[in-house]
Amino acid sequence: MDDIETLLTKLLMSDVIKCRGLTVGLARYIEIQEMLQKTTNIADATHFQKLFRKFYGMRFANAEWQQTFFQFMQERRYTPPSFNEIMALMAERFGRCEPSFSSKLAATLKPDLPVLDSRVLSVMATHLPERGNWKLLRSGPLDKKMKRASGVYYSLCAVIAIVKMSPNFARLSEKFDAHHGAHGLTETKKLDLILWQYRQ
């Protein structure tokens, strides 16, 4: 708990909330979420998919992978799947462990969930199994990678829940709103954006 308070103090003392990367990222995120609400069929919405790919760095994925990803997002947009469900689907279809994009799909449909990102993991490393080592999520047999990724993800969920209970986080959230406006963001998404841009 002391480590969490130390991190929050550093975040409060830093200029991360004012950085250009966070401002640009926030604008893109808001556009994605607004378009999600207006779009009838995500699976056919090329502009939405383009925004999503650009914001989340979906550069490697081939057409079949993307079609599966956005079709599943459409099918489950009103009954959001769990992180493990998404990861299992992508593993079954393509034989790969996709923890980061599984978390991004989950968090798009349910914005109070965190995103599993290498930048976030580097900041939160001491609070997570195996220090949230991104390379470890990519090594070993598929079943072990998925088990390890699930452990790190749900540990991140638990740590973020603790962070949000801190008075220092309440001050950080107020500081965020004062600079950017609330925009209906969840507290989890505010923290996610801050951690994504924070450089230790």
Does the structure show a pLDDT above 70 at 81?
Answer: yes
- 84 contact partners, CB below 8 Å, separation of at least 6: 150
Confidence of residue 127 (pLDDT cuts 50, 70, 90): confident
CB 55 within 8 A of CB 24: no
Whether the predicted model's global pTM rises above the 0.75 cut:
yes
Does residue 121 carry a pLDDT above 70?
Answer: yes
pLDDT band at 88; cut points 50, 70, 90: very high
Instruction: Pick the more confident residue, 84 or 121.
Output: 84
Mention every residue, 6+ apart, whose C-beta is less than 8 A from residue 8: 163, 166, 168, 169, 172
Across the range 139-156, mean pLDDT stands at 91
Residue numbers of the domain that contains 83: 2-197
Number of domains comprising the chain? 1
